[in-house]
Structure 1
Amino acid sequence: MSQSRVWHPFTQHALEPAIPEIVLTEGAYLQRADGSRILDAISSWWVVTHGHRHPRIMKAIETTTSALDQIIFAGFTHQPAERLARALAGLAPPGLDWVFYSDSGSTSVEVALKMALGYFRNIGASRSRIVAMEHSYHGDTIGTMSVGARSVFNAAYEPFLFEVDTIPFPAAGREQETLDRFEAISRDGRAAALIVEPLVLGAGGMLMYPAWVLSELKKITEASGTLLIADEVMTGWGRTGTMFACEQASISPDILCTSKGLTGGAIPLAATLATDAIFQAHYSTDRKKTFFHSSSYTANPIACAAALANVEIWSDEPVAERIAALSAMQAAGVRRFHDNPYFTDSRVTGTIAALDLRTGTVGYLAEIGPKLRAFFLERGLLVRPLGNVLYLLPPYCITGEELDGLYDAIEEAGERFGSRP
């Protein structure tokens, strides 16, 4: 193959070895040109839910291409988008009745932030501050970087980022500090919205917190008139054990962001769901109150058809049972490491499992990260640690035997690369 001209994401090309080419995906596997297979233990960056190339989703894409491609969505509509919006409103927590389409997790969060700020501007309230959680990650666009943790990821773009108020991560035993801090921030009436990753902070290190904290945060937003934005881009579609993580706290956010698993991971699509109150604040004979946001590929019919097929799979196939089984297997796998001297903080929420390797350096740029990636890839396993944080977030079709093999490899990695306390 000739020299590639592709610039890959989150890749330091000066340090990375030759990048493998994938020629086929199927189920829980990626296949290289030489026929060797790689077990996709992270659902190709958390997007693939039922498995690669689920036949029903592929068929929906094929069928739709015979009649539709992209249609301008300003002033026109189509049935895949209409049907999907009704389905999403039915699946989401109660009260999220309006669906705005975009094309990625980052854009769905940008939309949410603009909805929140537009809502208060249109009702004549001077609220313009956003509150975010420590260690959070919401995307790589300017707005989403602004509400994410300041780090090496966004240091170069600091001049463009807007300031936010931050509440501490609700670490075990320190949850009340988080609640007290948010309550103090919310008292001055300047906060437009609190944005959180419900139950699990993904790129921040697969940090997990209990549902009751989310429930209490919601109570504070209600008491202070602050909107709650739930970034369910990663946590949605069963990852935490329920369709949306918010369900476990028995709450409905004012705005909910979804992407990744929305199409089962087959094709890009995102949606931002909002309450009727937020929609009505933008519904006016005054054109200045229009919600001014779009992208060229808003509500792509082919992507919407793929998402509809995904919804039907949830309805017709035993997806909830598969998630429950995977969650139980993950819990059992994590238990293997409770007394392992090379690991600490083994944790699980639904189908997401994580543990920290004891090593000399920690954090995303820890040198151990690339070494671990190479170690697993040599064994035909796609595991992409967040520095010294190892996590498994596989598609729901993974078998118990495959998962056991992953945990065996993690155990071996600990013995090779880990340090004892």
Structure 2
Amino acid sequence: MSLNDALKQRSLAHVWHPCTQMRDHAGANPELPLIPIRSAEGVWLTDFDGRRYLDAISSWWTNIFGHRHPAIVAALKQQLDTLDHVLLAGFTHEPAVELAERLVKLAPPGLTRCFYADNGSSAIEVALKMSFHYWRNSGCTRKTRFIALTNSYHGETLGALAMGGPSIYRDTYAPLLLQPIYVPSPDCYERAPGQSWEDYTRQRFRLMEETLARHADEVCAVIIEPLVQCAGGMRMYHPLYLRLLREACTRHRVHLIADEIAVGFGRTGRMWGCDWAPPDPRATDAQPGITPDFMCISKGLTGGTLPLAATLTRDEIYDAFYADYREGKAFLHSHSYTGNPIACRAALATLDLFESEQPLAQNRLLAELMWRQTAELRALAHVAEVRQQGMILAIEMARNARSKEPYPASERRGLRAYRHALSAHPDFGVLLRPLGNVIYFMPPYVITPREIEQLCTIALAAVREATRD
């Protein structure tokens, strides 16, 4: 038995893999064969037989500078020689302090306080609890609900899961969940033929405005993913929605929570998705971008090396909790590994790379190349749309591209593309883990033009295979 096969069997004996029907991995001809990985470097994963796989999705959108970047690895080794972990309650340490200082400088103006968590879902939980608790500390006890967009996704812990729209993730747990007020997504895939993204966005925003006007007195916050609803099929919308929403939340005294977990750290082409909001046309010397009341970040924060997240917020929010202990206003939320020094050091090394490598400028060229290289995909009969926002490119397969009639989920067309991409080329495979009928690219920023060409060639073949009747 090969080392690959041996590790597969050991894994199947004891490991329950995430976001997976485990039966897909079992049997002599599994629908979703496990791939044991021995090592990784840059955009490449290597199994125990020496076969390489191009990681086109940055291992669930985390490894923005590729695997085992030498600068991040060196920073981790140095930190391990000094301090591994210490609780952040009553103690502090240099990596946590320095990281908070740098994140505040990098964040949209006005976000001055940093609360650490362990992962993206936990950062969302922090924001939801802080928003509710702020209003309670401020005497607004009727504010107990949240507004979320349909088709959104914010994580798997119960509070974050409740804010998500796709039924595949949340319906089983519905009796356990908060009940947000859902507003239809501004997702521009649904626009009418010939309708512009901006016009459709204005049309959809009216539904949000009406909901805020009706429910503002009972709503703590609106939560959104800026520009791209990632786990909802990489659906995208016009940045005007961000400007309109920021103004409406301010007007109705409702917080705005920006979930930048997947789209932050340059993934959309700017550092934050919120940075794309157009300037306020009524303000003099207005700058593009908005400042949410809470911004949740994770994934790319450590370059994909260690779990870490943060919720950034304003002084106004912080001040509502700052009181004598006997008043009972403290935010008594914690995680054992909050602000772990090693994870914070990885994040600092990642921020150093943004300064030294200047990836956003290079990413514009790489994004343009991805668009050009997918031209042939856009002409296929069963591709309803190819859409892009920065270093995110999504290919929507459909039974009827013109009417956008989807393939039934039971046909698992995305899985067909996934399997083909792993095995189509004799020398390497491509990791294209699908979202239903959507194949997408979210590659590490260190991908080369040649690797983009290889990725797009394999993706074209995989989509053709997946849409063959």
| Residue identity in the other structure for 2:249 | T
**Distance in structure 1 (CA, Å) of the matches to 2:419 and 2:107:** 39
> In structure 2, what residue type is equivalent to 1:62?
K
What's the offset of the Cα at 1:364?
A: 6.1
Partner of 1:234: 262
CA gap 1:118/1:142 in 2 versus in 1, 3 angstroms: same
User: Given that residues 224 and 259 in structure 2 are in contact (C-alpha distance below 8 angstroms), is that contact kept between their aligned partners in structure 1?
Assistant: yes
Give matches, 1:316-335, under 5 Å. 316-335=356-375
Q: 1:27 aligns with which of 42, 57, 66?
A: 42
Distance in 2, Cα, partners of 1:383 & 1:349 = 18
* Residues in 1 aligned to 2:21 and 2:94: alpha-carbon distance in whole angstroms: 43
TM-score, normalised by the number of residues in structure 1: 0.96
Equivalent in 189, 202, 205 of residue 176 of structure 1: 202
Q: Which moved more, 1:69-78 or 1:279-288?
A: 279-288
Residue matched to 1:282: 321
Q: Which moved more, 1:9-18 or 1:42-51?
A: 9-18
Task: Provide the rounded CA distance (Å) in 1 between the counterparts of 2:396 and 2:120.
Answer: 26
Contact 2:275 2:290 in 1 (8 A): yes
Quote the Cα distance in structure 2 between the aligned partners of 1:366 and 1:202.
Answer: 22
Pick aligned residue for 1:378 from 395, 402, 423? 423
What corresponds to 1:387 in structure 2? 436
On the 8 A contact 1:136/1:148 being kept in 2, the answer is yes
2: CA distance, partners of 1:403 / 1:297: 37
* 1:338 match: 378
Kept after mapping to 2: 8 A contact 1:105/1:260: yes
Query: What corresponds to 2:127 in structure 1?
Result: 112
Alignment-derived partner of residue 186 in structure 1: 212
Secondary structure of the structure 2 residue equivalent to 1:238: coil
User: Amino acid of the residue matched to residue 37 of structure 1?
Assistant: R
Report the residue type matching 1:43 in the other structure: S
**212-221 or 298-307, larger mean C-alpha shift:** 212-221
Structure 1 distance, partners of 2:409, 2:92, is: 43
User: 3-state DSSP class of the match of 2:335?
Assistant: coil
Q: Which amino acid in structure 1 is aligned with residue 108 of structure 2?
A: P
Amino acid at match of 1:209: Y
User: Residues 166 and 232 of structure 2 are in contact (CA less than 8 Å); yes or no, is this contact kept in structure 1?
Assistant: no
SS of the equivalent of 1:113 reads: helix
Deviation at 1:23, TM superposition (A): 0.8
Report the Cα offset of residue 314 of structure 1: 0.8
Equivalent position SS for 1:371? helix
Q: Which residue number in structure 2 is paired with residue 300 of structure 1?
A: 340
Asked if the contact 2:416/2:462 (under 8 Å) is kept, the reply is: no
After the TM superposition, which of the residue ranges 375-384 and 182-191 deviates more from structure 2? 182-191
Identify unmatched segments of 5+ residues in structure 1: none
Deviation at 1:351? 0.5
* Preserved CA contact (<8 Å) 2:298 2:309: yes
Using the size of structure 2 for normalisation, the TM-score is: 0.87
AA aligned to 1:251 is I
> Secondary structure of 1:76's match?
coil
2:10 paired residue number: 3
Match of 1:124, as an amino acid?
A: G
What residue number does 1:411 align with? 460
How far 1:408 moved relative to its partner?
1.6
1:399 counterpart residue number: 448
Q: Contact 1:334–1:353 (CA<8 Å) still a contact in 2?
A: no
Is the Cα–Cα contact under 8 Å of residues 414 and 434 in structure 2 kept in the other structure?
Answer: yes
Supply the AA of the counterpart residue of 2:201.
E
Q: 1:354 deviation in Å? A: 0.5
**Aligned partners of 2:178, 2:203: CA distance in 1, in Å?**
25
Going from structure 1 to structure 2, the CA distance change for 1:207 and 1:153 (only over 3 Å counts) comes to same
Q: Is the 8 A contact 1:334 1:347 kept in 2?
A: no
Q: Structure 2 CA distance, aligned partners of 1:362 and 1:267? A: 37
RMSD: 1.6
- Which one-letter code corresponds to 2:423 in the other structure? E
For 1:9-408, what aligned pairs fall within 5 Å after superposition?
9-16=18-25, 17=30, 18-125=33-140, 126-170=142-186, 171=188, 172=191, 173=195, 174-187=200-213, 188=215, 189-249=217-277, 250-287=289-326, 288-359=328-399, 362=407, 366-379=411-424, 380-408=429-457
CA–CA separation in structure 2 for the residues paired with 1:32 and 1:279:
48
Report the identity percentage.
40
Write the distance in 1 (CA, Å) between the matches of 2:408 and 2:74: 42
Q: CA deviation at 1:178?
A: 2.8
Larger radius of gyration: 2
- The one-letter amino acid paired with 1:44 is S
Q: 1:363 to 1:60 in 2, by over 3 A?
A: farther
The 8 Å contact of residues 297 and 311 in structure 2, kept in 1 or not, is answered as yes
Distance 1:86 1:353 in 2: 33
Contact 2:370 2:456 in 1 (8 A): no
Q: Could you report, residue by residue, the CA deviation over 1:231-270 in whole angstroms, capped at 9, with x for unpaired residues?
A: 0000001100011110111101110000000001111100
State how far apart, in whole Å, the 2-side matches of 1:7 and 1:68 are: 32
AA in 1 matched with 2:455: L
